[in-house]
Structure 1
Amino acid sequence: MVDLLEYLPILIFLGVAVALSALFVFLPMGVARLTGTHEPTAEKYSEYECGFPAFEDPRSQFDVRFYLVAILFIIFDLEAAFLFPWAVSLDLTGWPGWITMMVFLGELAIGLAYAWKVGALEWE
């Protein structure tokens, strides 16, 4: 049976991470409350990144390019998520692991070239 004290550094790390996360979330909210910047205005309710008004009829149509950009972001974000464990375990996987990752990166490069060619990355 594993001694539970071996997990103490992990618990300390998680505790520090939760404390810092809570600090980064709740400290700006508290400062905003104290300084009076929490009062909503028409400009605060305006659309910022989504490109269409937030408080409208939910059945209104909007451009499909928002979905294309989101899907492309997710694809290349997952690419980065796969690169870190691959880089760490490259000494264990050797050449087969390297070749497999190059095939994966090649497929992503072909997908990026295709998205670029059809204009999915251009914004009007």
Structure 2
Amino acid sequence: MNLMITMGIMLIILSTVVMMIASILSKKSIIDREKMSPFECGFDPFATARIPFSLRFFLIAVIFLIFDVEIALLLPMMMVMSVSQVNTWMVVSSIFILILLLGLYYEWYQGALEWTN
């Protein structure tokens, strides 16, 4: 038991020392305005480096990601059908698909699926 505690303490000390050495060696000593500015072929940027991002595009991407995860949850339902009772499987999968459809209709009703206004 003592050996395990000693090894644990040594591992914590060793990892702390390695992290401290890495953080000391990784520090940049010279902070230069040109190095801190956005890269544009070595020239000063003509306009702002931050272009406005379309919120509609972001919402469509998030909705796509959510429905992609839902598809990943729907696919194993066919594998589970053979090892579960048919009635239970039907009720659970029907409720799950109903919740997904209600979410889809709600997004449609709110206008989140329309690309342009």
TM (norm. structure 2) is: 0.51
Divergent runs of 4+, >6 A: none
Of 90, 113, 116 in structure 2, the residue corresponding to residue 121 of structure 1 is 113
CA distance in 2, matches of 1:123, 1:91: 41
1:88 maps onto 2:94 in alignment: no
**Quick one: which amino acid aligns to residue 108 of structure 2?**
W
Q: State the Cα deviation string for residues 74-120 of structure 1 (Å, max 9, x = none).
A: 12112221122111110212222321121111111011101111111
1:62 maps onto 2:53 in alignment: yes
CA distance in 2, matches of 1:89, 1:109: 21
Q: State the Cα deviation string for residues 36-64 of structure 1 (Å, max 9, x = none).
A: xxxxxxxxxxxxxxxxxxxx623x43221
Tell me the C-alpha RMSD between the 2 structures.
1.6
CA distance in 2, matches of 1:123, 1:74: 16
Q: State the Cα deviation string for residues 10-69 of structure 1 (Å, max 9, x = none).
A: xxxxxxxxxxxxxxxxxxxxxxxxxxxxxxxxxxxxxxxxxxxxxx623x4322112211
CA distance in 1, matches of 2:93, 2:59: 25
Percent identity between matched residues is 35
Of 102, 109, 112 in structure 1, the residue corresponding to residue 94 of structure 2 is 102
What is the aligned partner in structure 1 of residue 35 from structure 2? none
**Quick one: which amino acid aligns to residue 70 of structure 2?**
E
**Quick one: which amino acid aligns to residue 122 of structure 1?**
E
CA distance in 2, matches of 1:93, 1:65: 42
What is the aligned partner in structure 2 of residue 45 from structure 1? none
What is the aligned partner in structure 2 of residue 31 from structure 1? none
What is the aligned partner in structure 1 of residue 103 from structure 2? 111
* Structure 2 residue ranges without an equivalent (≥5): 1-47
Count, aligned residues: 68
